[in-house]
């Protein structure tokens, strides 16, 4: 397959994307418009607030001072919330901003700090009782914070949330902990394959970049339930290099591996014909309350937002479509209505990708949670 010559590096997230579906990874490198999500923004706010608090210098403060941490947490979250909101609102592909989720960001930071405290003798202490001296002690176990790592050959990169000195009850080091802060849904029992791969990657990349390391363990810190999930396993960097060799950008798209997991939240469906073919063949479910569609407009009333769409069936493997006998009525409002009006008033007459429509009987609903894009299967790299 023709390759496009370009320097590139494998990160844990790009590796995971490639393993999920090589085509998803290929599409992610096409500089297509990225989609903002509330979950990603919430994660950024918690990560950036945690990083900032852990980096503050308290050298000139009175060691006995208490009652400062809660205020600092609130100010820091508020600051990063407004920074993140601005980035989010300036991203064209986005749902609506949920102001009420700031409570979750605050809870996330509380969870992350409580996990950090649990690694010291200040476990369970109230934030209002943490003195500057206590904080200095807590901070002393952080060996690095948001450190960028790069392998000796330059092909593998990663940004480590926290490197922690693993102290015993007497304050003696038992080794290091590579800790990755997780702000999403915690696992039911054990870490999934993606998170495990990511944690072991950080562990092994750290060992390579710091040859004089002591024993290193890897942990996922889940802020929402304040629990630590450890993982262990074989050395993974050889597998990462094997993947790196297959991740060179090619002119033609690589094969896809559609699945409920990979396609579920894939943001590149408007550019990928394969999920729609899989759905048509019954390999992917079309029975979810929220689903995606590929349609043509039969009728659209701009003032009321009422529409009728006809589903388009795939033919061939390159995104070609044909009419089907399936049509449904739709009520469209919010951001989805703005998008459809823009497309309707342009010269575009082709099929549409409808992302995340809510179905209710024979009717579908689209709103701030949905998106409408021209159906544009990408069959050759535009890099
Ligand atoms: S929609 Fe599914 S098959 Fe297509 S790129 Fe995304 S994950 Fe792969």
Cα(23) to ligand 1 centroid in Å equals: 6
Which domain range does residue 64 map to?
Answer: 12-240
If asked whether residues 167 and 307 sit together in one domain, one would say no
If asked whether residues 298 and 178 sit together in one domain, one would say no
Note the pLDDT of residue 6.
67
Residue ranges around ligand 1 (CB below 6 Å): 21, 23-24, 27, 256, 258, 262-263, 266, 268-269, 272, 274-275
If asked whether residues 283 and 232 sit together in one domain, one would say no
User: Of 17, 20, 23, 281, which is best to mutate to test ligand 1, by the most ligand atoms within 8 angstroms of its C-beta?
Assistant: 23
Residue 270's CATH number: 2.40.50
* Atom in ligand 1 nearest the alpha carbon of residue 262: 7
Other CB atoms closer than 10 Å to residue 161's CB: what's the count?
22
Residue 149's CATH number: 3.90.320
Cβ pair 352, 370 in contact under 8 A: no
Task: Answer whether residue 255 is part of any domain.
Answer: no
Domain end among 240, 268, 294: 240
pTM: 0.93
Task: Answer whether residue 382 is part of any domain.
Answer: no
Cα(128) to ligand 1 centroid in Å equals: 48
If asked whether residues 165 and 94 sit together in one domain, one would say yes
Task: Answer whether residue 2 is part of any domain.
Answer: no
Task: Answer whether residue 28 is part of any domain.
Answer: yes
Domain end among 240, 268, 298: 240
Cα(287) to ligand 1 centroid in Å equals: 18
If asked whether residues 116 and 233 sit together in one domain, one would say yes
If asked whether residues 215 and 269 sit together in one domain, one would say no
Query: What is the domain count for the chain?
Result: 2
Task: Answer whether residue 177 is part of any domain.
Answer: yes
The string over 99-129, giving b where at least 16 C-beta atoms fall within 10 Å of a residue's C-beta and e elsewhere, is: eebbebbbebbbbbbbbbbebbebeeeebee
Domain end among 208, 240, 272: 240
Task: Answer whether residue 310 is part of any domain.
Answer: yes
Among protein residues, the one with the nearest Cα to ligand 1's atom 3 is: 258
pLDDT truncated to tens, each residue of the chain (383 aa)?
A: 666 666 799 999 999 999 999 999 999 999 999 999 999 999 999 999 999 999 998 888 899 999 999 999 999 999 999 999 999 999 999 999 999 999 999 999 999 999 999 999 999 999 999 999 999 999 999 999 999 999 999 999 999 999 999 999 889 999 999 999 999 999 998 899 999 999 999 999 999 999 999 999 999 999 999 999 999 999 999 999 999 999 999 999 999 999 999 999 999 999 999 999 999 999 998 888 899 999 999 999 999 999 999 999 999 899 999 999 999 999 999 999 999 999 999 989 999 999 999 998 889 999 999 999 999 999 999 98
Task: Answer whether residue 296 is part of any domain.
Answer: yes
Give the span between the Cα atoms of 183 and 74, in whole angstroms.
18
């Amino acid at each position: 397959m023709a390759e496009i010559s370009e320097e590139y590096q494998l990160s844990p997230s790009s590796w995971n994307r490639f393993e999920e579906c090589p085509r998803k990874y290929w599409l992610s490198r096409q500089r297509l418009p990225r989609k903002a999500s509330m979950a990603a923004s919430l994660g950024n706010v918690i990560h950036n607030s945690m990083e900032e608090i852990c980096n503050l210098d308290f050298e000139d403060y009175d060691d006995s001072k208490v009652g400062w941490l809660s205020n600092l947490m609130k100010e820091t979250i508020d600051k990063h919330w407004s920074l993140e909101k601005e980035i989010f609102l300036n991203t064209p592909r986005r749902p609506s901003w949920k102001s009420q989720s700031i409570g979750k960001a605050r809870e996330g930071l509380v969870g992350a700090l409580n996990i950090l405290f649990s690694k010291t003798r200040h476990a369970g202490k109230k934030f209002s009782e943490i003195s500057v001296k206590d904080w200095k002690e807590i901070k002393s176990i952080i060996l690095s914070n948001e450190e960028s790592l790069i392998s000796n050959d330059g092909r593998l990169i990663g940004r480590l949330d926290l490197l922690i000195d693993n102290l015993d009850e007497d304050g003696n080091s038992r080794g290091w902990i590579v800790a990755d802060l997780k702000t999403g849904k915690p696992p039911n029992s054990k870490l999934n394959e993606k998170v495990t791969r990511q944690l072991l990657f950080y562990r092994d990349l750290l060992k390579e970049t710091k040859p004089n390391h002591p024993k290193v363990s890897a942990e996922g810190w889940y802020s929402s339930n304040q629990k630590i999930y450890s993982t262990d396993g074989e050395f993974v960097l050889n597998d990462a290099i094997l993947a790196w060799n297959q991740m060179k950008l090619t002119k033609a798209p690589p094969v896809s591996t559609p699945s409920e997991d990979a396609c579920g939240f894939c943001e590149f469906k408007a550019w990928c014909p394969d999920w729609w073919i899989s759905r048509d063949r019954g390999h992917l479910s079309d029975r979810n309350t929220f689903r995606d569609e590929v349609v043509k407009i039969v009728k659209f009333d701009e003032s009321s937002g009422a529409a009728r769409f006809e589903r388009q069936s795939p033919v061939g493997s390159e995104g070609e479509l044909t009419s089907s006998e399936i049509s449904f009525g739709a009520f469209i409002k919010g951001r989805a209505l703005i998008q459809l009006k823009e497309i309707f008033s342009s010269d575009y007459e082709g099929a549409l990708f409808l992302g995340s429509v809510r179905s209710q009987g024979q009717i579908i609903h689209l709103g701030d949670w949905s998106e409408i894009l021209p159906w544009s299967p990408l069959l050759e790299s535009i890099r």
